[in-house]
Structure 1
Amino acid sequence: MTAPHRPLRTEVVPEICVEGAVEAIAFHVKAFGAEEMFTHALDDGRVLHAEISFDGFVIFVVDDFPEMNNGVGSSPKAIGGSPLVLHRDVVDVDAATQQAVAAGATLDFGSEDMF
């Protein structure tokens, strides 16, 4: 077995599958201050694997590849929604919300301090 290209992860890392991973990564950087750590795109532009970080918390981002899943898509668009919700604690929820909206996010309901 060969050595990994980075230290072995011991935490669970969520992976989000989207249609348009390049755009999704750019949105997360602009809207939420994520750091793009690594992206491996194929010749057709689709992202096979990417890693973004929110203050050290890593999320993998990939494009949907139905051809690798018997023609069945796995993105929220393909399955009609997503069973995954990601939460993030911030010091100033109003500023964080304004930043996300300025980057193109839409709000289903207003922001508030809770939990």
Structure 2
Amino acid sequence: MTERPERYRNAIVPHIYVDGASDGIAFYERAFGAMELFRIAHPDGKIMHAEILICGAVIMIGDPDERLYGEPRTLGRCTAGLHIFTDDNATLLRRAVKAGAEEIQPPTNMFYGASSATVRDPFGHVWVLLSWKEDLDPAEMERRGNALLA
């Protein structure tokens, strides 16, 4: 198994959703001295995924994706997701569903080097369960992500 990148050294990484994520990144740069690591943007400029560094901690940020973070039934808009890095996301997915979470995506190999599974908990929070497969630097993630959107 490939070790996850050092920037994901913590087991849980926050992922926030901001309408106008580009403006959000600019704000976090001004307010907290954030440093942008990379961004993957749709042709219309909306950010699919970006990562910033604040006080040595990675924060993932993007514009909301209606499928995952839009209006889940009556729970309202989800503005944050939590990424759990685990060695076995399929087992963790089954455990979460058994406990009452809604499966959104089964384990799927993604362009950024991880197998990703997603659930929504009964309170409306989105949890992304990641098992790391391939260590990619941010520039390669950005290249692959932009190629996917092209």
Q: Equivalent residue for 2:40? A: 40
Alpha-carbon RMSD: 3.1
CA distance in 2 between counterparts of 1:73 and 1:38 reads 27
CA distance in 2 between counterparts of 1:43 and 1:29 reads 23
Q: Equivalent residue for 2:5? A: 7
CA distance in 1 between counterparts of 2:56 and 2:19 reads 25
Query: Which one has the bigger strand percentage?
Result: 2
Q: Equivalent residue for 2:16? A: 16
Q: How does 1:66-77 map to 2 (within 5 A)?
A: 66=66, 68-69=67-68, 72-73=70-71
SS in 2 for 1:23: helix
The Cα of 1:14 is off from its aligned counterpart by: 0.1
How many residues align? The count is 76
Structure 2 gap ranges (5+): 82-150
- TM-score, length basis structure 1: 0.54
Instruction: Report the residue type matching 1:10 in the other structure.
Output: R
Q: Deviations over 1:68-101 (max 9, x none)?
A: 34x9348xxx63x8689xxxxxxxxxxxxxxxxx
For the structure 1 residues 29 and 62, does the alpha-carbon distance in structure 2 shift closer, same or farther, using more than 3 Å as the test? same
SS in 2 for 1:39: strand
Q: How does 1:25-104 map to 2 (within 5 A)?
A: 25-66=25-66, 68-69=67-68, 72-73=70-71, 79=77
CA distance in 2 between counterparts of 1:39 and 1:83 reads 17
The Cα of 1:59 is off from its aligned counterpart by: 0.3
SS in 2 for 1:48: strand
CA distance in 2 between counterparts of 1:36 and 1:73 reads 28
The Cα of 1:10 is off from its aligned counterpart by: 3.4
Q: Provide the identity percentage.
A: 38
Structure 1 gap ranges (5+): 85-115
